[in-house]
Amino acid sequence: MLSYDNKTSHTIQKQEVSIAKNYLNEDEIKLLGLLVEQYLAFAETMAQQQTPMYMNDWIERLDSLLQLNGREILTHAGTISHQMAVEKSDLEFSKYKQENAIIEREQSLKEIEEDIKKLKR
């Protein structure tokens, strides 16, 4: 479920909720970046050596790189379809928007109450 943090200035947009990497923490993002760097360094090496690479070669090398880094390789499509994941993220986003609207209303009411108290003084 999406959580709302009053301290963040970023407003969550609907198109963002179905992108998994948006929910990685700082360490996970750093690790993802390192994996990408390793893969790109390998690709550059292959290009420099003018080694022909086909799609199956790239898949095998990526799997090898992930295993070398202690990652599990997904060997099946999983049990949740892309459509199911998008529908779930849309549902959770709707809940988030409703909760956020309630919080915003409550904050507005508190501000109005504070303004009224100031005017009464």
pLDDT at 9 over 60: no
Of the chain, the percentage scoring pLDDT greater than 70 comes to 89
Classify 36 as helix, strand or coil: helix
- Biggest alpha carbon distance in the chain? 80
Q: Which residue has the tokens 């070669």?
A: 57
Averaged pLDDT score across all residues of the chain: 85
Query: Residues 109-118: pLDDT tens digits?
Result: 999 999 998 8
- The residue written with tokens 């799609």 in the block is 55
Least confident of 12-16, 77-81, 83-87: 12-16
What's the pLDDT tens digit per position in 23-44?
A: 778 888 899 899 999 999 999 9
Q: Is the pLDDT of residue 16 over 70?
A: yes
pTM of the model as a whole:
0.53
In the predicted model, what is the mean pLDDT of residues 75-85? 84
Per-residue pLDDT, averaged over 8-21, amounts to 69
Distance CA 66, CA 68 (A): 5
N-term to C-term CA, the chain: 43
